[in-house]
Amino acid sequence: MRALVLEDDLLVARGLTEGLARAGYAVEHASTASEADQAMQRGNIDVAIVDLGLPLEDGLTFIRRMRDQGVTVPMLILTARDTLEDCVGGLDAGADDYLTKPFRFPELLARLRAAVRRQHAETSFLLTVGPLRVNLRTHEVYLGEEFFALRPREREVLESLMTAWPGCAAKANLFKDAGSAELSPNAIEVSIFRLRQKLAPLGFTIRTVRGIGYRLEEQKAQ
Amino acid sequence: MSRPPAVPPPDPQGFLSDAAHQLKTPLAALKSQLELAIGDADEDSLRRRLADMSATLDGVIHLAHQLLALARAEPGAGLPADRQPMRLDAILGRLADSHLDMAVARNIDLGFELEAAEIEGVPWLLRELAVNLVENGLNYTQPGGRVTVRCGRRDGHAFIEVEDDGPGIPPDERSRVFERFHRVPGSAGDGCGLGLAIVKEIAARHAATVGVAAGAGGRGARFTVRFSA
């Protein structure tokens, strides 16, 4: 995974570069929009992190220009400006997401993953959470490379949980998402119970969120 | 006829000096931690100092965020009147995604009882209000406790309610908790004393009232924001 960091503050850029490299990204750093242009033209960037306040051409203009040229690389704005107008302006210009400084690295990494995942989802219909993979077109679930056998209702629940991940899946949407008729709360509980038993050995839990629904969680290695 | 430009109000409650003081304390701590870290040859203790500094810095960042939120919630903040019809249950439901991790980390059961409630309001300000009430509950409730977020309509008024089963707020402190930088004496938690002032300011901008009482069975605290319609 190759990330472009467009940031003119060298201290911030160094922190980003080191942190991203530690998370397994190959990182290219650009201090100006024209340097970033060159990196984009080489065509091997998977995701870009763009600061707004740049010398010469600002980040918003850069993003708008890239989108006008048909560049579809996911772009995430990282900036100290955090008013609603700035945020809306950034998304309108074609950015995929918006994060304000100061930021937390785990959140930045999660948003980068989400931006890349969204782009892939549009083309491949594959949804991945850790070793779990679901094909949204064929509705087949895989664990690593192996086919993961589930009853139809369990599969529908898991698909909804994975679609909502890392957020919560609303109870009311658990089956609606997958297109089957509405089920009684009791039937949902039974499916959740069975799914919990099958997922536990794989290091996954399903948390009940009181009044909302459920959330798929990957047990962190201690 | 043109009016003379408005004179900026003085700082009657000493807000700016309070704010500056609140910033100076953690900055002084950071400075001394940093100086110790520079001279620290032992790797374990250096790591501990860095973790301390990171936690101190989190406090400064939180304070900066809260000061900005307060400035924007004030009347005359120059914001466009972007009031629009909106669903309180939709705004509050999203807190399940944004705040569940914080609740899980503190071993608190964060739950929701949301009923349809539509009002005219500024969505991002009301989200800020709700976030402050929920974080207040999560900060002051003991591990194993519960925080419940509610909304709906009661007696013809829309409402937002956040109830916890924490230590509660003594009756003689209840009117003061909404003052800027006021903290209940002897309370735990690591807030900066602005969260509830922000709640009050945002409620006022929506012509809503905010009050606090004891929760169910006389335990904990229940904050209620009641809208005029």
- What's the mean pLDDT in A28-56? 90
What's the pLDDT at B1?
45
pLDDT tens for B138-163 read 999 999 999 999 999 999 999 999 99
**CA B45, CA B53: separation in Å to the nearest integer?**
12
pLDDT tens for A65-104 read 999 888 889 999 998 877 667 778 888 888 999 888 888 8
Instruction: Indicate the average pLDDT of chain A.
Output: 86
pLDDT tens for B85-141 read 999 999 999 999 889 989 999 999 999 999 999 999 988 889 989 999 999 999 999
Amino acid at A26: A
What's the pLDDT at A182?
63
What's the pLDDT at A183?
66
pLDDT surpassing 60 at residue A186: yes
- What's the mean pLDDT in A120-129? 73
Interface test with B, best of A212, A214, A215, A218 (most B CBs within 10 A): A212
Let me know: does B224 contact B159? Beta carbons within 8 Å.
yes
pLDDT surpassing 60 at residue B3: no
Gap between the terminal Cα atoms of chain A: 26
**CA A202, CA A195: separation in Å to the nearest integer?**
11
Instruction: Indicate the average pLDDT of chain B.
Output: 86
List CB contacts (< 8 A) between B77 and chain A: none
pTM assigned to the model: 0.74
Cβ of residue B61 closer than 8 Å to a chain A Cβ: yes
pLDDT tens for B181-212 read 887 777 766 677 888 998 998 999 899 999 99
Cβ of residue A172 closer than 8 Å to a chain B Cβ: no
Q: What is the DSSP letter of A32?
A: S
**B31 by DSSP, 3-state: which?**
helix
What's the pLDDT at A123?
61
Let me know: does B147 contact B138? Beta carbons within 8 Å.
yes
**Which of B61, B82, B113 lies closest to A211 in CB terms?**
B113
**CA A82, CA B128: separation in Å to the nearest integer?**
13
**CA A117, CA A7: separation in Å to the nearest integer?**
24
Q: What is the ipTM of this complex?
A: 0.73
Distance from CA of B89 to the nearest CA of A (A): 11
Q: What is the DSSP code string of B90-118?
A: HHHHTHHHHHHHHHHHTT-EEEEEE---E
Q: Which residue has the tokens 């953690």?
A: B26
Q: Which helix (H) or strand (E) holds A78?
A: strand A75-79
> CB neighbours (10 Å) of residue B143?
8
Q: B118 — phi, psi (to 5°)?
A: -105, 135
Question: What is the token pair recorded at B221?
Answer: 């605290």
Which value, to the nearest 10 degrees, does the dihedral of the CA atoms of residues A118, B88, B134, B52 take? 40
